[in-house]
Amino acid sequence: PRDLVATCNVLTDLQIRGNRLHHNLLAVFGDQLRRAARSIGQGGISLALVESGVIADNLIHDNGTRAVNPTCGIFAGYVEDLEIRGNRIHGNGPLDDHYSADRLQGLRGGIYVRLAGAFLMGGAADAYQKPALRLADNVVDQPAGRALTAFAFGPVACDSNRFNSEREGRL
């Protein structure tokens, strides 16, 4: 995580709206991609650092070749004031008969937020003005892994979402 912060720029006022993101992450999971997938979610949307962002009204489906490879619909590394609203996320990393025996280590999930905080980027005063994370009106059907994983420090709102997961993940 320290290297990630040192090498990435913060995306401020990011808007990802109304997209269809599908059939991404079709690469063979070689050693380098396997190592990266242990700490950075791969799939539909993958972001490192975001302050004041919106991911809304996207259709994110059928990313990844199989559930044995770690796949996320939306991954966000470190965020402050991120809104994830009205997205439809399904079929990312489809299950097959070999999942339980062959699954690789790595981050899996419909929505995976490594850390959302109200204090990360703007200083102590931000906690009184901005939430860490808002999730509303999302529909997530995740073949393997949690439908939602979010670690947060600060205010979080989660309202009117529908979450489903078929199988457990493996970190």
DSSP 103-137: PPSS--EEEEEEEEESSSSS-GGGGGT--SEEEES
Q: What are 27-42's pLDDT values in tens digits?
A: 777 888 778 777 788 8
CA distance 15 to 45: 12
Q: Tell me, what's the pLDDT at 91?
A: 92
Which regions in the chain score pLDDT beneath 70?
1-8, 119-129, 169-171
The per-residue pLDDT for 170 is: 55
Are 93 and 145 a contacting pair, CB within 8 Å? yes
CA distances from 126 to 83, 113, 122, 138 (A): 16, 19, 6, 26
DSSP string, 29-76: --HHHHHHHTTS--EEEEEEEEEEEEEES-EEES-SS-TTS--EEEEE
pLDDT score of 123 = 53
pLDDT tens column, 86-107 = 999 999 988 888 888 888 888 8
Enter the pTM of the model. Answer: 0.85
Starting at the edge strand found earlier in the chain, the sheet holding 139-144 runs 20-22, 59-61, 88-90, 139-144, 162-167
